[in-house]
Amino acid sequence: MIKDLYKEGYTQNRELSWLQFDMRCLNEAKDKTVPDIERLKFVEIYTSNLTEFFMVRVGSLYDMDKASVTKVDNKSGLSPKGQLNAIYPAAKRGLKKRDVIFEELRKRLARAGIEDIPVSECDKNEVKYLRKYFRRSIAPLLAPQIVDTHHPFPNLQFGTIYIAAVLKYAKRSVFAFVPVPTTLPAIISLPHKKKVRFVHTEDLIMSYAPEIFPDAQITEIMKISVARSAYVDADDDIFANILDYRKKMLRVLKERRKMNVTMLTFSKKPSDHLKKYLQSNLGITNREVFVCSVPMNLKYVYSLPSLLNDEQKEALTYPSYEPKLSPSLNYSRKIFPQIQKKDVLLSYPYESMEPFLQLLKESASDPNVVSIKITIYRLASHARLVDYLCLAAENGKEVDVLIELKARFDEQNNIDYSERLEDAGCNVIYGFEKYKVHSKICLITRVEKGKTTHAALLSTGNFNENTAKLYTDLAYMTSRPEIIDDAIAFFQNMAIGKLDGTYNELLVAPVSLKSSLLAMIDEQIAKGEEGYIFAKVNSVTDEEIIVKLKEASCAGVQITLLVRGICCLVPGVKGKTENIEVRQIVGRYLEHSRIYIFGKNEEEKMYISSADFMTRNTERRVEIACPLKDAACAARIHRMIDLYMADNTKVRVLFPTGRYHKIRDVEVPVSAQEMMMEKTAASNQSLPPAAVVQRPAAVVFDTTYKPKKKKKKKNDSD
């Protein structure tokens, strides 16, 4: 490794690169070619990304700064304190820009008949409606609290909005907090025949503060929220005495609620009295204090389309797109035997995840299927995949599930699923100390008339039915013996905790992925100007890979990196990275697939993978990169790459300054994602109906206005 790599001049700080990606999402909210409600979604995406950043990355830096860690980042030369000093001002500038964009969009939507109004601007009928709604559906759920000798300062939780108030009674003043229940909808639709009008639940609760605190004079009131460090490691010594891993993860989640506050947000400028009080109790300074004017809960933007008529939807949202059934399969026949004859590549979200779900459904009931093995990282909140795994176990098949309980922010969801899978008879294991299992692989084994056959699926993304409609990912279905042999070895190794297993075709982290990548880069270095490297990943932070790519550039190898998010490598630096091009695409769908290509034509080696070029992926996770040897599947990926490289609307190019720039002077606009929606072929078949699984009914608050029907007067003949 190169000591003081930042002095070489071709790397940049990971955290500041992350902030650049967040700003790229926010800039999509400014793009007037994007429908207005979709632009509003990018405001929410920017906000949620930034919040996660403050919980994960800033949380880690915050802890290091508190511990007086002075070690500098090798890619930028910044200490933890130096990074924080750069991050906070940049984030505050970004949030001010977000507030301006939000207000512009709010006005544009109002002109289109979608009115986001303050409670104070409601008319008499709306006030009456809201009063009844508040007293019936909201007030019973509220848990207001004052702070005094008998009522300690509350443990403010991430994800909860609070109404913070200063109350004056006859003989004393106190601080008070009202948590906004997370079970409530974010907005309340108001009765109106021609327009969509709504208020925010958080604002309605604040407007009823005089009723919540009837004996007090409210001298100050506003909304607040906090972000806390989520940097809690289940493998820390403090959890060593907890042997049950599920219990350990529940303890981790509990500890997270008490971590350092990295961000305190006010809905308007607070008085010094309130600000200093909160700073003192939360242990923060002015640096961590933000003042923002947008609603605290922006998730409501995803429910807006349901309030619109067809004309409004057409004008304000993307044209609807339903993922297509791959034409590579015959859906009137079983999927498993078709995979025995040919490889199948699915491209989400342009193609549907249904063929894989159909394969699991068939396998669950197929008397000749003897086992299903799968790794799980993130799942949909209601996952048919789990239904089919449970059904398979209940039908007597061996179902082995390696579920990662340390998937950040999905821990509780995975804990719940692990319990359900165990109850159904699945064999559930949880991964390894110090390593997360991030690979996405499924292996199905069938025995008929003494003959054993297998089918495997390897994916770049999670087995999540919801994100498969929103993220671009690739899923490879195959029965190639060399891949199957490695898949069998992989699950055997995982079952006995062997991380250093040997594989012939699959590249598996932490044992062989990184070393193989470096070796393949070396192969291209040996070819000099005839060498070629292409990689599509989410992030590039691994120092050894960065240094090796720089060596390849100096040898004349042509390198193209399509990096959605963080990129610590700066391209185009003379004498170092001038043969490297870095592009970024942000559009309707989240770019999530990982593709590696080394060499061209007959010498080409192509892989799809779950791993980014990050040290956490290459060294601290269990990842898989799978070779694509099928000519038709490889040709499809090349066609995708051609579209990515032709994109001139959603693409940004990273310059030697470390800044991304738009392509100028575009004659014919090309969007890779739009072209893929247009060009993806669809099967003219349909799937058999999905199995219906009964679940307990959820409690739903109906906020849609429904005019009352006039009651008929009763008479003797009724």
The Cβ of residue 246 has, within 10 Å, a number of other Cβ atoms equal to 18
Nearest in space to 510 (alpha carbons), one of 432, 456, 607, 409: 432
Q: What is the DSSP letter of 598?
A: E
Given 200, 438, 454, 592, the catalytic residue = 438
Q: Give the Å distances, CA to CA, from 616 to 248, 267, 622.
A: 22, 36, 10
Report the interhelical angle of 80-111 vs 14-28 (nearest 10°): 0
State the pLDDT at residue 711: 42
Please provide the DSSP assignment of 128-190 as one string.
HHHHHHIIIIIGGG---EEEBTTBPPP-PPTT--EEEEEEE-SS-EEEEEEEPPTTS-SEEE-
For 209-219, the pLDDT digits (tens) are 999 999 999 99
Please provide the DSSP assignment of 450-499 as one string.
TEEEEEEEEESS-S-TTGGGTEEEEEEEE--HHHHHHHHHHHHHHHTT-S
φ, ψ dihedrals at 59, nearest 5°: -60, -45
Query: What is the rounded radius of gyration, in angstroms, for the C-alpha atoms of the chain?
Result: 27
State the pLDDT at residue 170: 87
Nearest in space to 213 (alpha carbons), one of 147, 296, 159: 147
Q: Do 594 and 609 meet the contact criterion of CB atoms below 8 Å apart?
A: yes
Q: Which amino acid is at 445?
A: T
For 423-460, the pLDDT digits (tens) are 999 999 988 878 999 999 999 999 999 999 999 999 99
Q: Do 323 and 297 meet the contact criterion of CB atoms below 8 Å apart?
A: no
Say how far apart CA 455 and CA 477 lie, in whole Å: 7
Q: Provide the 3-class DSSP secondary structure of residue 219.
A: strand
382 is catalytic: no
Query: What residue ranges of the chain have pLDDT lower than 50?
Result: 234-240, 242-243, 691-718
Query: What token pair was written down for 642?
Result: 């051609």
The Cβ of residue 412 has, within 10 Å, a number of other Cβ atoms equal to 12
Which single residue is written with the structure tokens 């400014």?
A: 30
Say how far apart CA 686 and CA 652 lie, in whole Å: 38
Contact partners, residue 403, CB within 8 Å, separation at least 6: 375, 376, 414, 417, 418, 421, 428, 429, 430, 431
Say how far apart CA 328 and CA 355 lie, in whole Å: 10
Query: What token pair was written down for 183?
Result: 């079970």
Contact partners, residue 100, CB within 8 Å, separation at least 6: none
State the pLDDT at residue 698: 36
Say how far apart CA 488 and CA 503 lie, in whole Å: 10
What's the number of CA atoms in the CB half-sphere (13 Å) around residue 622? 28
Contact partners, residue 310, CB within 8 Å, separation at least 6: none
φ, ψ dihedrals at 526, nearest 5°: -65, -25
104 burial (CB, 10 Å; 0-12 / 13-18 / 19+) is middle
Q: Give the Å distances, CA to CA, from 12 to 87, 174, 661.
A: 14, 48, 17
Structural domains of the chain ordered from first start: 1-112 (1.20.58.310), 121-233+260-298 (3.30.1840.10), 335-495 (3.30.870.10), 507-679 (3.30.870.10)
Query: What token pair was written down for 240?
Result: 């060593």
Find the angle CA(406)-CA(408)-CA(409) to the nearest 5 degrees.
120
60 burial (CB, 10 Å; 0-12 / 13-18 / 19+) is middle
φ, ψ dihedrals at 441, nearest 5°: -145, 140
Q: Regarding beta strands 651-654 and 580-585, do their DSSP bridges make them parallel or antiparallel, or are they unpaired?
A: antiparallel
State the pLDDT at residue 231: 63
Nearest in space to 168 (alpha carbons), one of 127, 205, 220: 220
Q: Which amino acid is at 607?
A: Y
